[in-house]
Each structure stands twice: as C-alpha cells, then as structure tokens.
A and B are shown apart, each in its own frame.
Chain A
Amino acid sequence: MRVVAAMSGGVDSAVAAARAVEAGHDVTGIHLALSRNPASYRSGARGCCTIEDSNDARRAADVIGIPFYVWDLSDRFHEDVVEDFMDEYAAGRTPNPCLRCNEKIKFAAVLDRALGLGFDAVATGHYAQLRTGADGLIEMHRAVDHGKDQSYVLGVLDQQQLAHSLFPLGDSTKASVRLEAAARGLLVADKPDSHDICFVADGDNAGWLREKLGDKAPNHGGEILDESGEVLGQHDGTYGFTIGQRKGLRLGRPAPDGKPRFVLDIEPVSGTVTVGPREHLAVDRLTGVRPRWCGSVPSRLEGTVQLRAHGDEHRAVVVRSDQGVEVELLDPAYGIAPGQAAVIYDGTRVVGSATIAATQRVSA
C-alpha cells in the first residue's frame, strides 16, 4: 500500500512510520503544521506544533529513509479544533480537542488529501489495535499497553476512516517502542511524551482561554454558590472551571462540615458556578449526542464506557435514542462534564462514541 505516515516529531509516530516501511508499504512521512504561528506556541518539545518538532520529524524520516513533507493544515485546525474548543468552553462545557482533531483533521482532512493524492492509508503512532472481524468489518480494540491505550481519542472514527488507518504500535508497550526507536537510531527515542493540549503553550488552559475568549464569552465573572444558593465567592470567568474541579476555587472559608467542595454546575449565561460535596457529583445516567459508530450500530449494548482520556471504565447499558444514546451507568461516575466524550466499548472493542450533553445525578 501507499501510506502517509503522520509524524509529529515524537517517538511513537517515528517508530510507527518505520514499522510501516518494514511491513512493505511505500511510505511518505508528513508533518502537520497545525499552528498558524509555529514559533509562538510551545518552546518545549512536548507538543505537536513547534519548529523543533517539525525538525525532529524530518530527521526521523531521514533516518527511516522516506520522503518527508510538511502539510499546512493550520486553517482547518483553527476552524475545526481551536474555535470549537473556545466555543465549547464559552458554553460551559469541557471539550476534548484531541478527539476533535482525530475526527476532523488527522482522519478526515489529512486522509481525504492522502486518498486524493493516490495514497491508500494514513499511519499514526496511536496505541490502538485494528483487526478484521467475523463480519468483515474493521474492528478497533484497546492497545496491548493499557497504560498507553489511546483508543479513547480514536472513538470518533467510522468504518470508512478505520479502513484507511494503520496503527502499527497497538501490539507494543511504550517501553518497547522506546527501545526500538533507540535501536533504529532515531534520536527522538528518549523525547518526553506529549501531554496537555498542543495549542495551549504552557498548559494553562484557563489563562489561554481568558486571553483568547476575552469578551466573546458571556461568562466573564460571576458568583460561586453553594447548593442552597448562598454566595461563597466570586470568579472571573466560568471557562476557568470544569465539573468535578476541586482546586483553585479560592473560596476562603471551608464548608461547614469541613469537607472539600467541588464544582457541581456551571451556568455560563448567568456566570454562576455551583459547588458542593463530592457525593453530589455522582452521576448514573448520561445523554450523549453526535454519536459516531466505528462499525455496525447496536440498538442496545451491555458493555463499558470510558468518560475521559485515561479514565476508568464504567459498566454501562447503552441504548440508542433519537438524539444519540442514553447511557445507564451501573457504578456511579464522578466529575463528568458536558462536552466530554463517552466512548463505548464491548470488551476491548470500541463500538463508538458520543458527546455528553447532559448528566443525571444519583438521587440522594
């Protein structure tokens, strides 16, 4: 196959590209330029947008011996990922831009362009496994390395996208990938993993949002209330909060019972943030919208859902609805925010995903 290997400049995508070559594919390395102003984003080597990362990707391609190009997708990325991220926070929700990027950029804009240019597939360094099921459809399963498993952020891919994807690292542990990178002479072998959100330079989400949103959000400043409606403090923007957040509330006085308080609700229009005890965060039902299915669409499934990257699995019953899905959690989940993705699993297989629109608290 003719394969485009998306190379971030990190160790995983470099080894993935090398393995694609070894599997006999005709591989071309590409680095995605996602920032309109690469120098301004990250100065470290952790993100996916810096000049250093682009150079690291280029050197890895040299070592592997494949052609290498930079594809400028900064406009698409800004429209589909960065603006969506801002809009979601402005609306009081908590988005995951990595899923959005996979859905709209890596396995859409990049894949479409690659197919148009005569390639057959896109290979990435994501940790997930693909196999062909009994029904002939491509199934995506969790990676062998459960600590690194990234099937959650790939839960937005449909059958068409999966049929043109390669994840060469799904059967390996991160430790073995690093050893392999060193053995292959890839200088990125000991480069630190990326974390956080690539376009938020210093990892300070709230600061970034404050700067970018400015007056765009109808939520600059408001009151922090307890569940009885008593005003406990003030804040300067609901985008600084996420449901389940405990730190940074700066309430001054402790709760009467001395227990820590958590963000229970965010109301962006009035700017109200409600706090309360952890047990009031417990959620046992979710409504999911914008469902994305990896393969055939179940009407009812007893399986598990994962509600955040590297989060726990929750046993659940998922039922399709007109809007998307209704999820009944058999064990309550805490700190679940609208905007997050619920990725649905049947065993290790990813069934699909939906964006959490509403949660229902466990009745006391």
Chain B
Amino acid sequence: MNDRTVYLDHAATTPMVPAAVEAMTAHLLEVGNPSSLHASGRHARRVVEESRETIAQALDCRPGEVVFTSGGTEADNLALKGVYWSRRAADPRRTRILATSVEHHAVLDPLHWLEETEGAAVWPLAVDSQGRLDVDAFRAAVERDPGSVALISVMWANNEVGTLQPIDEVVAIAAEHGIPVHTDAVQAVGAVPVAFARSGVDALTLTGHKVGGPFGVGALVVRRELDVTPLVHGGGQERDIRSGTIDPPAIAGFAAAVELAVKQQADHATRISALRDDLVRRVVAAVPDAHLHGPALDSGLRLPGNAHLGFPGCEGDSLLMLLDARGIECSTGSACSAGVPQPSHVLLAMGRDEEAARHSLRFSLGHTSTQADVDAVVEAIVPVVERARAARR
C-alpha cells in the first residue's frame, strides 16, 4: 500500500501555488473595505484593482472587463441569466439560447431554469464522438432564425473528457449575426492559451481554485459593451453587475495564481501532456479493452492534463474506491446528485451508451503531478481492474 497520496483529480481542484498563498495571506490581517473612503479602504481597493490589472494583463482583456464573483458557477449564472435578460429586454423575440450538450452543470442548470421559468428556448448543440461541437449543425441552428438568438454558450474545454471546442468558428458565425458568445473557460485557463480580446468572445468564465488560487473566488470577463442584468443586488460593487463586499485577500491570491498559470502555460502543457501520454499509453497497454475517450492524444484538441479512460466490465465507482484505498485519487467524471452517480451526460452526448458512461474514470494531471504519480497508476491499475471486474460478475 502507498502511504503517499497520488492526487490525479486536478480538474476537480488543484493545490494552491505558493505565490497565491503568499499573495493571499499577505492581506489576511489587513483591515479595510475596498468601498471605504479612508486610507485603509483605499489600500484595500488598491489591492483589488492591482489584482484586476494583473488578471487583465494575463487574459488579454481590459481591467474594467473583469467582474469578480464567488467562483465559476456564479460567473456562469451571471453570464447566462444576465445576458439573456438584457438581450430579451432589448428585443422580446430573443428567446433562444444555443449551448452544447456537453456543458458543465453550472451552465446546463441555469439554462434549464431559464427554460422553465423565463420563457427561454434552449437549443442543445450536438457534438461528435470526440465531444467536439458539430460546427455545421451549429451554423444551421443559428441561421434558422438568427434574430431569435439571445446568446450562445460554448465551453472552451470540456471538464470531463478534455475536448477543446472550436471557439474561433463559433465566434465567427455568431459575429455574422451580432450574437454574443459566452464561454466557460474554467478548465482552459493555464492549460491552453486563452486570450479574451483575441478570441472575440463576449463573456468568459474562470475560477480561482482550478488555476492554483483559492476557493470561493472567480470572475466573469465581460465586454463593456455587453449589457448584463445583475443577478445579485446590493452595493453594486462590481460595475453594478455584481454586488457584495469585495474580498481583497482572495482576489490577490486569485490574481497571483492566474498570472503564474498563464505565464507558465506553455511549459506546463508540454510537461503535463508528456506525463498524461505516458499514463494513457501504459494503462491501455496493460489493461485489455481499456480505451481513451475524447480526442486522440496527439490531436491538439485535448486539454494537456486530461486522461479519460473506459474500462469495460467495471463500475467506475468500484475502480475509484479500489484506487482510493491505494492512495490514488481520481474521478468517475460524472455528476453527483446526493452522491448518487448518474451516467455522464457528456459521454451520452458523445454517443456512448449508459454502460460506457458508467465504466469510465477521469485522471486529471496538474502542476504537482510527477512521473511517480503516473507509475503508481500503472502499477495499480491491473489488479484494480481485475478486482472491479470480479465485483461485477
């Protein structure tokens, strides 16, 4: 048994980087509300605004376009509801929302809510067997009636199988009709190049704890020209779009993490994808029938740290538990309601059956991953799969 924890669930959350811990803790004992007018308030405000500039610099946006939130879920909700409300208010015909069927629940659930309560018509956009948006189908969905589209939401990279979406093509088609595009880039920032202005998207979600920053802080980067109806009302601290006392230490830690993640992105991706490729190749070689879900390793269409593997004849739950008992931590990549695993909507949308959706595991590598982690998985996987298969019989 391993005494060491082999943490391969970085897509769920990744450890804070020392620079973020330092930046955050440096302000934890300081007093001052960034909205106060005295010296302490001004100091706190300065921390926040410098952080905003740091993030803007890293993500190719203007500081004023960064709206701090409590995290990715709030940023997604703000983008979807806020833009839907304002676009529909400007023209009541705009009730359609186009989104891929492989979005995170932080996107799917607000869309479902808008459909149930706000008269929205959500158009699920099909993906191919790799989880990648079918651009022709997307174009057809837009052109069917462009004037009725309130907004488009296409994630930058999928959290389960790591598929990168054709954001450029989405933006180009949307631009022909002046339709705003939101993208959930929670998994993408720091893993692949993400540049807000150059991408042409109108709103982009990111969160602290996926890039080595703290929990509980994230941002919606949103073009100043795009009207966003607020979700949370109060003091109007963030551009009147988002209210709530601003959290300088968390934001400082968040900014430090984003800065470092973006600066190191290329080197990180090279190192992590090599480890990931090694993991996938050796696991597939060791376990009969094991196979990769999502884009091929060398396709360039996949997050560098994502290894989503199917193990026919096993329950993903059993694999997870057996690996956990050996100190290896990964995910079944499926959404949980009350801890009840549901077959992944992502794999189902990719055309896999429920059985395939249940026998999968996601290993996600990150900045602390090492060759020893990969070796530990390769060493454990054969007995673990044998055990899990025995439990299914």
Contacts and interface: CB of A to CB of B under 8 A. Distances in A.
A72 B321 contact: no
B193 interface: no
B117 interface: no
Residue among A38, A69, A115 facing the most chain B CB atoms (10 A cut-off): A69
A38 B387 contact: no
Contacts of B325: 28, 67
A33 B390 contact: no
B340 A116 contact: no
Contact of A72 (B317, B388, B390): B317
A147 to B, nearest CB: 32
Contacts of B341: 70, 72
Interface in B303-354: 317-318, 320-322, 324-325, 337-341
Nearest to B341: A72
B336 to A, nearest CB: 8
Contacts of A116: 387-388, 390-393
Nearest to B325: A67
A74 B340 contact: yes
A35 B163 CA distance: 33
Size range of the chain B interface in the assembly = 10 to 19
Interface in B108-136: none
A38 B321 CA distance: 22
A116 B393 CA distance: 8
A28 B322 CA distance: 11
B340 A70 contact: yes
B23 to A, nearest CB: 32
B322 A117 contact: yes
A117 B321 contact: yes
Contacts of A358: none
Given A72-B317, A117-B321, A31 B339 contact: yes
A117 B391 contact: yes
B contacts with A: majority SS: helix
Interface string A70-100: 1110100000000000000000000000000
B387 A58 contact: no
A231 interface: no
A179 interface: no
Nearest to A49: B338
Interface string B78-116: 000000000000000000000000000000000000000
A39 interface: yes
B6 to A, nearest CB: 16
Contacts of A118: 322, 387
B341 to A, nearest CB: 6
A39 B317 contact: no
A99 to B, nearest CB: 25
B360 to A, nearest CB: 15
Contact of B338 (A33, A114, A115): A33
A33 B322 CA distance: 19
Contact of B339 (A33, A67, A115): A33
B324 A67 contact: yes
Contacts of A117: 318, 321-322, 387-388, 390-391
A112 B392 CA distance: 8
A74 to B, nearest CB: 7
Contacts of A74: 340
B337 A38 contact: yes
A113 interface: yes
A113 B390 CA distance: 8
A54 B341 CA distance: 13
B358 to A, nearest CB: 9
Contacts of A115: 391
Interface string A105-124: 00000001111111000000
A69 B325 CA distance: 12
A74 B340 CA distance: 9
A248 B164 CA distance: 63
Contacts of B390: 116-117
A113 B387 CA distance: 10
Contacts of B392: 113, 116
Interface string B372-393: 0000000000000001101111
Contacts of A72: 317, 340-341
Contacts of B388: 116-117
Instruction: Report the 6 A-B pairs with minimum CB-CB distance, sorted nearest first.
Output: A116-B391, A70-B339, A51-B338, A33-B340, A116-B390, A38-B338
17 contacts: A31-B339, A33-B339, A38-B338, A38-B340, A39-B337, A50-B338, A58-B339, A67-B325, A69-B321, A72-B317, A72-B340, A74-B340, A112-B391, A113-B318, A116-B393, A117-B321, A117-B387
Interface of A: 28, 31, 33, 38-39, 50-51, 54, 58, 67, 69-72, 74, 112-118
Interface of B: 317-318, 320-322, 324-325, 337-341, 387-388, 390-393
Given A70-B339, A116-B393, A117-B388, 14 more contacts: A33-B339, A51-B337, A51-B338, A54-B339, A67-B324, A70-B341, A72-B317, A72-B340, A72-B341, A113-B318, A113-B391, A115-B391, A116-B387, A117-B391
